[in-house]
Structure 1
């Protein structure tokens, strides 16, 4: 039984670390977009390439460690929201030539994704470190 508790605790800690990493990556993406707009358009390439390093990879590992850490149902719904938001980010970036009105949604979705990722970190932190 004790091994099961340590497995759950380790799974939750790794999930929290991945959630923090994902939040920092989203923040970096928004910062790179701002740099490309206000400083140097060449940064767009970094913005476009950086997302491929973490976009779906980190949330997939988060899903695996959510199972290992036996996280509550809300964690899976939040991950579903993250996956949906990432899909919408790709969609809004790639369909803007066909549907120009979709392009500006890219920024709004990014801000929502940053908020959601901060919520994931906060709720997971509270779950792990709350006093019982």
Structure 2
């Protein structure tokens, strides 16, 4: 396999992928904080929790696009699909009134773990750019 420097556009996509993955993980932490404020301090904070998701809910879709423009291969290319699925599950479970609603915080935790893994795995691809394989 031939090793060569990564093209500028590809590298920019990779930088953006990593930065957005980190932002998404940080936003998930903020979401947990906002829900904690609603539970333990003042229930009116649910509105912040509900509104804040509109700020970052589409980041996994952008990550998926950047995975292709950044020529990212393997699991890193498909991790955003997992995040998209978990966002959909979040919306599906948020208004349920039975035991299935308890899945909402569990999938939130899973989403956070996947977001951290995505950001961590992409860090080396983006910021340790001695020579990368490009197809």
Q: Bin the TM-score by the shorter chain.
A: 0.7 to 0.9
Structure 2 counterpart SS, 1:42: helix
Q: 1:79/1:45 Cα in 2 relative to 1: closer, same or farther (>3 Å)? A: same
Give me the whole-angstrom Cα distance separating, in 2, the residues matched to 1:112 and 1:84: 11
The aligned counterpart of 1:21 is: 23
Structure 1 spans left out of the alignment, 5+ residues: none
Give me the whole-angstrom Cα distance separating, in 1, the residues matched to 2:83 and 2:77: 10
The aligned counterpart of 2:40 is: 38
Q: Give the structure, 1 or 2, with the largest relative contact order (CA under 8 Å, sep 6 or more).
A: 2
TM-score by length of 1: 0.88
Instruction: State the Cα deviation string for residues 36-80 of structure 1 (Å, max 9, x = none).
Output: 10011000011011112211x211221221111111131232111
The aligned counterpart of 2:80 is: 79
TM-score by length of 2: 0.86
Structure 2 counterpart SS, 1:103: helix
Give me the whole-angstrom Cα distance separating, in 1, the residues matched to 2:5 and 2:114: 32
Instruction: State the Cα deviation string for residues 74-108 of structure 1 (Å, max 9, x = none).
Output: 123211110110011111103x13xx011111111
Structure 1 counterpart SS, 2:82: helix
Structure 2 spans left out of the alignment, 5+ residues: none
- Superposed, 1:70-109 pairs within 5 Å as 70-94=71-95, 96-97=96-97, 100-109=98-107
The aligned counterpart of 1:123 is: 121
Alignment length (residue pairs): 127
Higher helix residue share: 1
